[in-house]
Structures are given as C-alpha cells and as structure tokens.
Amino acid sequence: MSKFVRPFGKENQTASPVRAAGCAKCGKNGYAALRVALRLDPAKPAETVFWKKQCVFCGTIARYRGRAADGTEKEFPAFYMPYSNGRGFSVKSRDFYLPADLYTTEDGKADVAKKVRLVAQVARLAEQNPKRSEFSWAEINSSLDKV
C-alpha cells in the first residue's frame, strides 16, 4: 500500500498518541449526551432543561474542573446546554431552559434568581439519580421545600 501525501501538508502514517478521555470510574470510553427533562403535565411531552455527559457503561456523570464563586478550584458535574447557533455550549445555570411561566413575576419580568434555584434543584436531583433522565414538577416542588 502506498503512502498518501496531501498536496498541502506532510505525510501522515501514524495515529495520534493521545487517547480519548475515559470514564473516571470504569476507565472505558463510552460517554453519551443524555437529556435531563422536566415534565410539567403527564399528558404533555417533557421539556429538556439541560444535557448531561454520562458514561453508558457504569452510569457515572462526568465532571469538569472550574472555579467556584470564591475563586477556589472545584469539580462540577458536566451539565450543559448547547447554544442555538450550534457553536459550543454553556454550563451556566441561567442559560439552561425552563418554561418562562415558571419564573416570571406578576409584572411580566423574569426572576432569574428563581430560575437558577429551580435549575439547581433539577441538577441536584439529576446528580442524586444518575440513571433517571426525567423528573416531574411535583418532585421539584417537594424537594424545594426541604432545601
């Protein structure tokens, strides 16, 4: 078999020595993007709040390193929301999706703090129950009272 030479670069016959990042728990390469959804009404479809990066072999949610509010380094679960233009993603809670009527005030303004608290509660439930991808509004409300 002859070597292929690109007209714009060097010859390349070796594979990259860098392996894809495996699961921190089982070591296998098998991450998948799974949605975390909120079902407001049992008769209607569930709405995707955010996505999670999860190992398909052992169910572990991936983690990434970031900075906490006080500036210390901390590990966070890999929950994210893709940008609408398809270029990248956001890990900020305020960018996750919730129906607007859940956090809109009486005067029609968005209560972003309430939205972030609701999203944080969904994230807590998703981290405590990694095998589940859908939560009901009753679960969110009942667990908010405990916090």
pLDDT digits (tens, 9 = 90+) for 119-141: 999 999 999 999 899 999 988 88
How far apart (Å, rounded) are the C-alpha atoms in residues 113 and 111? 6
pLDDT digits (tens, 9 = 90+) for 19-66: 667 888 888 888 999 999 999 999 999 999 999 999 999 999 999 998
- Kindly report whether the global pTM for this prediction surpasses the value 0.85: no
* pLDDT, position 2: 60
Domain range list for the chain: 31-138
